[in-house]
Amino acid sequence: MRIREYNDADLDALIAMHRAQGFDYALPDLADPIFVSKLVLENQESGSAAKGADKIVMASLARLTCEMYLLVDPNAGTPRERYARLVELQRAGAADLRARGLDDAHAWLPPPIAKRFGRRLEGMGWMRDDAWTPYCKRLR
């Protein structure tokens, strides 16, 4: 078993593994610079002692994800004014993130505000994404 960095020659093997898994999502563009880590795991083919007979059997692909935080002075203006400011800030923020090469942004809402503020976000084009179950690995 050997773990190494991905290279362009590995793409066909990754396409085949992705297809064999049968998940309903497209293989992402691995040339996109938001992929900051691309590792493949090779395992020696059974019954082969020949050098170079390693086969890619797994890959770990890490793409940058943008987590949004919103800080608001709850005493500055009326609810309507705060909402108008939020809409403008979102517009500017989305343009800024696109210019930096990001494709999406995520927000995890604290339970006390999730229902009410979640409706506001949905009204601004955000979607609640319960299709996939999120997990987190703390690295620090």
Say if CB 34 and CB 63 are below 8 A apart.
Answer: yes
Neighbouring CB atoms inside 10 A of 39's CB total 13
Encode pLDDT of 21-55 as tens digits.
998 999 999 999 999 999 999 997 766 556 656 89
Q: What is the mean pLDDT of the chain?
A: 92
Encode pLDDT of 68-109 as tens digits.
999 999 999 999 999 999 999 999 999 999 999 998 999 999
More confident residue, 45 or 113: 113
Give the whole-angstrom CA distance, residue 9 versus residue 66. Answer: 29
Say if CB 54 and CB 19 are below 8 A apart.
Answer: no
Give the whole-angstrom CA distance, residue 52 versus residue 61. Answer: 23
Q: Sketch the domain layout of the chain as residue ranges.
A: 2-63, 66-140
Whether 12 shows a pLDDT value over 80: the answer reads yes
Rg, the chain, Cα only = 21
Q: Give the 3-state secondary structure of 61-114.
A: EEECCCECCCCCCCCCCCHHHHHHHHHHHHHHHHHHHHHCCCCCCECCCCHHHH
